[in-house]
Structure formats: C-alpha cells, structure tokens
Chains A and B, each alone.
Chain A
Amino acid sequence: MFPLVSHIEFSVGADLALAVLLGLGFGYCLERAGFGSARKLTAVFYLFDMSVVKVMFTAIVTAMVGLFVLSAIGLLDLSGLYLEPTSYAAQLLGGLVFGAGFIIGGYCPGTSIAAMATGKKDGAAFALGMLGGVMAYAEFTPGLDAWIKATSQGELTLPSLTGISMGWWTLVFVAFLLAAARGMDWLQHRFSYLKPAAV
C-alpha cells in the first residue's frame, strides 16, 4: 500500500502542493522546538540545552518505529523507499565541513528557513551563504560528484551491514533514547552555569 507514489502518479501540481503541505508541518515543528533561533540551536554544543539532540533523536526514532511497524504488518514496502548510497569518505568529510558551518553559522539549511521566517537577519545571511556554497561546489568542484560515486559502498543500512534485523535495531534505538534522555538532563544541569539569561 505504501509508499503511495508506487501506486499513484501525482501530477506536477499535486506533487508540489504535497510538498508545501508537508513543509508547513516541517517548518511549524522546527520553529515550535526553538530551532528558528541560532542561540537555542548552538546551545547543544555548550551542553546547557540539549533540545537539538532531543528533537532530532525523537523524530528519528518515531519515524523508525513507524517504518518498522508498517513494514512488519505488510502495509509498507521498505524497498520502495529511496536510500542514499553510503560513501564513508564523503559522509565523514562532508559531515566535518558541515559541522564547522553549523557552529560558525548557527543554523543548518532547514532551520535557517525557520529563522528567516521569524525575522532573523543572520538566518537570511546563512541562507545567502548557502546559496554561495552550492554555487561554488557546482562551479569549482563538480568533479567531487564523481569521487563520491567512486568511493560509494552502495546502499548500506545497519541491518544489511550487521545481519541484525531492523526490529532489533529499532528496539536498540528506543532503549538508547530512553537512556540518553536521563543523561541529557544530567548534562543540562551540570552545564547550566553556561546558560545566558533568557535563551
């Protein structure tokens, strides 16, 4: 039954209307979490407010449980979902550069949109910088695409890598989230002295 796109061919208009609708929920959640604020986002790196990890981790685990349960009862065909091929080198290097951009700029791509929407001029500057970044990549280093392809391991998930099924991994992630929730509260308390007033 799912994904719907395997059975229904959406018109361009319907497809883009769906994008706007899902985007509404996406942006609403980001702003509600406080992710339109660079100081709230970067607080995670000073350990006095772990909201970024709490929200991301909970979202990942929620979707993971949903995907697992729906596929287990036969409503979802997991092989019908797109999976980005893994390249250890590309995701490691790209992640390191991205992390630097995150702490220097204060946002990530999606949250800079939430920041702009709530009037943050630095969010607009970040988005402008992003446009420059993707432009520079395309114009000056288009050859990196071929390198990423050449270093690719293909589609690789934890279940296919380890032979341990998605159900067990989902359970591990749920358990880890519950344990991490306690750990993060301890961290926030321990580093609360770093917290500026009213962030």
Chain B
Amino acid sequence: MPDAVVHSPARTGSIDAARVRAKPYWNPYLVGFLLGLVLLTTYLVTGRGLGATGAFSSVAAWLAGFAGAEHVAGNAVHSRYLNDGAPLLSWTLFLLIGAFAGAFLSGLQGGRVRPTIERGPRISDSQRMMLALAGGFLAAFGAKIARGCTSGQALTGGSMLNVGSLVFMLAVFASAYALAYFLRKEWI
C-alpha cells in the first residue's frame, strides 16, 4: 500500500511521500544568520573560515600513500596535504565529521533521515546516480582550480570581500544557470 500523498499523483515517489511526513525547513534568512555566526566564530577562533574540499584532498593524499610514500612526497598537490605524515588529522576533515553529525542530528529532529535517491520524476535512479558521480567529479576538479568551493571561497572569502571569491561565486551561478535548461529532466 503506497503512502498517502496529498499532491498530484503523477509527481509522487518515495521522496515526495517522505516529505509529507517531514517537518518543514527553517526560514532561510534565520538559517543564513545562524550559518553566518558559525562562520564568524570560525574566523574569530582559527583565523580561517570554513572549507570542505580540503578534506577530500586529505583523504586523496592518504589513499595515494598506499602507492608509496615517495609517490605522495613527489606529487606537488598530494604533498601539500601530507600534514607531517598524518593526512587524516586534517582540520577540514574533522570539520566535515562534525558537519555529518550536525546534519544527522538536524535530520533526525526534522524526521528527514531515510535512505533515498533524490531526483526528479523524469529520470531513473541509476541515471541519477551516474550524474551525481559525474557532478561530484567536476565540482571537485573545479574547486581545486578555483582553490575553494562554496564554503572556502563563496562563504569564507565572500564575507572578507575577497575579489577572487566574488568572481568564483558569479562564475558558479552563471555556469549553473546556463546549464539548468538542459538538465531540467534531472530535477523538475
């Protein structure tokens, strides 16, 4: 027996049915204010802002270590994430471990933790998984070139009025808006 769904049946799926039971998200301006306070506190304590991509670079450096220590030390990118031989003791990686726990807690409170694959009604689960994998690859590669992502450049640099961060933000939105029409079946 499928879950009762109050909206148009053509749009229903497990995701939409789950949403009916989930609590609403908070007001975006309120969450933005709180996120701004987290960012400000991070600056005041550590002298640096938030970041996320660095954690993935640290894990990559750790994995590359299995191909040999001299391989990592000789690589211009991996070697920056060596962290004196303990790449997994990366600050950003621990930040993301905390973020995982924080998001899980928030999701539990809101009734939003359940195994799903998020997609629009017009593509299949496997197509969506492939696109997620490809998108992650591109986002990470782009973040490496830009030296930061939405956390490290947009939020962190933006609040310091960093010119490069503002350029990054404009480029991200320009690119995504330009491609949105072609990807509409993935999302709406």
Report how far A87 CA is from B95 CA in the complex, Å. Answer: 26
Residues of A within 8 A of B92 (CB): 19
Whether B99 pairs with A110 at a CB distance below 8 angstroms is: yes
Greatest chain B CB density within 10 A among A3, A99, A111, A148 is at A99
- Minimum C-beta distance from A50 to chain B (A): 8
- Minimum C-beta distance from A15 to chain B (A): 6
Report how far A142 CA is from B110 CA in the complex, Å. Answer: 43
Interface string of B167-188 (1 = CB under 8 A from A): 1111111111101100110111
Whether B94 pairs with A132 at a CB distance below 8 angstroms is: no
Whether B169 pairs with A95 at a CB distance below 8 angstroms is: yes
Report how far A166 CA is from B32 CA in the complex, Å. Answer: 21
Whether B131 pairs with A104 at a CB distance below 8 angstroms is: yes
A25 at the interface (CB under 8 A from B): yes
- Minimum C-beta distance from A16 to chain B (A): 4
Q: Which of A1-37 contact B (CB under 8 A)?
A: 2-6, 12, 15-16, 18-34, 36-37
- Minimum C-beta distance from B49 to chain A (A): 8
Please tell me which one of the listed residues A31, A60, A82 contacts residue B159 in the complex, with CB atoms under 8 A apart.
A60
Report how far A103 CA is from B76 CA in the complex, Å. Answer: 30
Q: Which of A104-150 contact B (CB under 8 A)?
A: 104-123, 125-139, 142-146, 148
Closest residue on chain A to residue B91 by CB atoms: A19
A187 at the interface (CB under 8 A from B): no
Whether B35 pairs with A33 at a CB distance below 8 angstroms is: yes
Whether A137 pairs with B140 at a CB distance below 8 angstroms is: yes
Query: How large, as a class, is the contact surface on chain A?
Result: 35 or more
Residues of A within 8 A of B104 (CB): 27, 31, 117-118
Asked if A95 meets B142 with Cβ closer than 8 Å, knowing A31-B106, A105-B131, A156-B163, the reply is yes
Interface of B is mostly: helix
- Minimum C-beta distance from B135 to chain A (A): 2
Q: Which of A41-68 contact B (CB under 8 A)?
A: 42-43, 45-46, 50-51, 54-64, 66-67
Residues of A within 8 A of B50 (CB): 22, 26, 110
Report how far A131 CA is from B140 CA in the complex, Å. Answer: 7
Whether A90 pairs with B145 at a CB distance below 8 angstroms is: yes
Whether B139 pairs with A101 at a CB distance below 8 angstroms is: yes
Whether A103 pairs with B176 at a CB distance below 8 angstroms is: yes
Whether B135 pairs with A86 at a CB distance below 8 angstroms is: no
Closest residue on chain B to residue A170 by CB atoms: B161
Whether B95 pairs with A23 at a CB distance below 8 angstroms is: yes
Whether A28 pairs with B53 at a CB distance below 8 angstroms is: no
Whether B149 pairs with A108 at a CB distance below 8 angstroms is: yes
Task: Show 6 A/B contacts (Cβ-Cβ < 8 Å), sorted by A.
Answer: A4-B45, A16-B89, A57-B32, A86-B163, A120-B117, A158-B163
Interface residue ranges, A against B (CB under 8 Å) = 2-6, 12, 15-16, 18-34, 36-40, 42-43, 45-46, 50-51, 54-64, 66-67, 70, 76, 78, 80-88, 90-123, 125-139, 142-146, 148, 153, 156-159, 161, 166, 169, 181, 194-199
Interface residue ranges, B against A (CB under 8 Å) = 5-8, 11-12, 15-16, 19-20, 25-26, 28-29, 31-50, 52-53, 55-57, 59-61, 63-64, 75-78, 89, 91-92, 94-107, 110, 112-121, 128-129, 131-155, 157-177, 179-180, 183-184, 186-188
